Amino acid sequence: MKEGARPPVILALALILYDVCMRRRALLDRPVLRRALAAIALALWTGFVLYPDPRPLAISVHRLFNPPVEPAAVNELAAILPAEYAAVETFSQNHVPYCTAWDLYGLFWYFPTVSEILSAGAGDCQAEALLTASILEAKGLPYTLHYSFDHVWVDYPNRAVVAMEDPATAIASISEGGWIRGLPDRLPIGEIVRTRLQYHWSPMPATRKSLLLLGLLGAFALGEWPSTRRLLRRAPTPVGADGGRRLLR
């Protein structure tokens, strides 16, 4: 996706929202409505900054709920690997060195297909888990795909619990019996926040970070419009060409 691509849908919605606010100034005098509009504007702006083209997001959400496990795409790999869980998992770890979606696809988050994973030769936890699941399925070995708030991984019989890969933290799992959803038994909030920041924020381009912060500032200014207006009226007035001061209206 090119950085310059900017489909107009989200921007148009943001402009319409701005136009409504400016045409109906009375809306800005209602605190609850004003802050609701600010929240909507911030959401639209954030979506526009992170996904100028919303199609990768829609595709990723669909794949999240329908993991594209493709045993046919890995038949050749499965044929040369032993029918052992540890061997398959080790192969996937070596074949998919860790790389964030920002670094690999220029996206905040993206759920790839097995073909895309093999082509890229790198990926995140989703990529590694998907490749592992595809090979295990090609070899007829049962497995469970676990989702937690900060990780995706493959579980199998007698697998040791390690670090982030604890079934007690899973919020959803899928196996031969279908989906299982529920509240996790353990919720390591500090670890989740740290992982999300390392994955989403740290590798984010500086331009995107600046735009997000600008949007946050703008939303705050809209939500607290009376205070913003008073602050603007107290700001130093610019000096005109004739040396006099122009009044801010």
- Tell me which of 226 and 196 has the higher pLDDT: 196
The answer to whether residue 245 scores a pLDDT higher than 90 is no
Q: What is the mean pLDDT of residues 172-183?
A: 90
Mapped onto helix, strand or coil, the DSSP state of residue 235 is: coil
The answer to whether residue 17 scores a pLDDT higher than 80 is no
- The token duo for 167 is 């079934």
Model confidence over 56-96: pLDDT tens digits?
A: 999 999 999 999 999 999 999 999 999 999 999 999 999 99
Question: Domains of the chain, with CATH numbers?
Answer: 1-53+205-249 (no CATH), 57-192 (3.10.620)
Q: How far apart are CA 170 and CA 150, in angstroms?
A: 10
Q: Is the dihedral of CA 104, 72, 138, 150 positive or negative?
A: positive
Rounded CA Rg of the chain: 24
- Order the strands of the 144-147 sheet from edge to edge: 152-155, 144-147, 172-175, 178-181
| Total-model pTM | 0.81
Q: What does residue 172 show for φ and ψ, rounded to 5 degrees?
A: -160, 145
Q: How far apart are CA 91 and CA 84, in angstroms?
A: 11
Model confidence over 110-159: pLDDT tens digits?
A: 999 999 999 999 999 999 999 999 999 999 999 999 999 999 999 999 99
